[in-house]
Amino acid sequence: MLSLSANGDYGLMLLKELAQAKSGEFVSLGSLAAERQLPRKYLDHVAKLLVVAGLVVAREGRGGGYALRRPAQAIGFVEVLEALEGELAPVVCTHDGKCCHRRVACERKTGWQTLHKELYNLLKSKTLADVLRLAAKS
């Protein structure tokens, strides 16, 4: 079963808030942490990951905070997951298939490589906006 780490969980909460902000508006992590009862230090960590990945911009000072670099419709969900969770692979050798000399036999037995490609392509076809819209329906 796939699950998100705390990075993914908090990161998606932050991205949801940024996606809902008015255009040009920056969201304060302090306000968000207080409002949602989230650890500010952890939000800082997650926000930095998103800045490094180029998904979010930061502005210091009065009226500062964080904002999406691009509209949510232009942010691939795989970009988000890889920024927050790292490389997406259900087992160590499925991403590049170069883990060991038994790769061919293993692929034939388990099909992990094929499943990984299908799941990756599904996630790659979604945007942040798609996922936030699905989350709002549930």
The pLDDT tens digits of the residues spanning 50-67 come to 999 999 999 999 889 999
Choice between 39 and 87, residue whose per-residue pLDDT is larger:
39
Name residues whose C-beta falls within 8 Å of residue 135's C-beta, 6 or more positions apart in sequence: 16
Residue 34: pLDDT band (50, 70, 90) is very high
Structure tokens at 116: 């990984």
Q: What percent of the chain has pLDDT over 70?
A: 83
Structure tokens at 18: 């940024």
pTM reported for the whole predicted model:
0.83
Q: Cα(33)–Cα(18) distance, rounded to whole angstroms?
A: 13
Structure confidence at residue 1 (pLDDT): 44
Total residue count of the chain as it appears in this document? 138
CA torsion sign, 114 to 12 to 130 to 58? negative
- Which domains are assigned to the chain? 6-137 (1.10.10.10)
Q: What is the dihedral of CA 42, 46, 47, 48, to 10 degrees?
A: 100
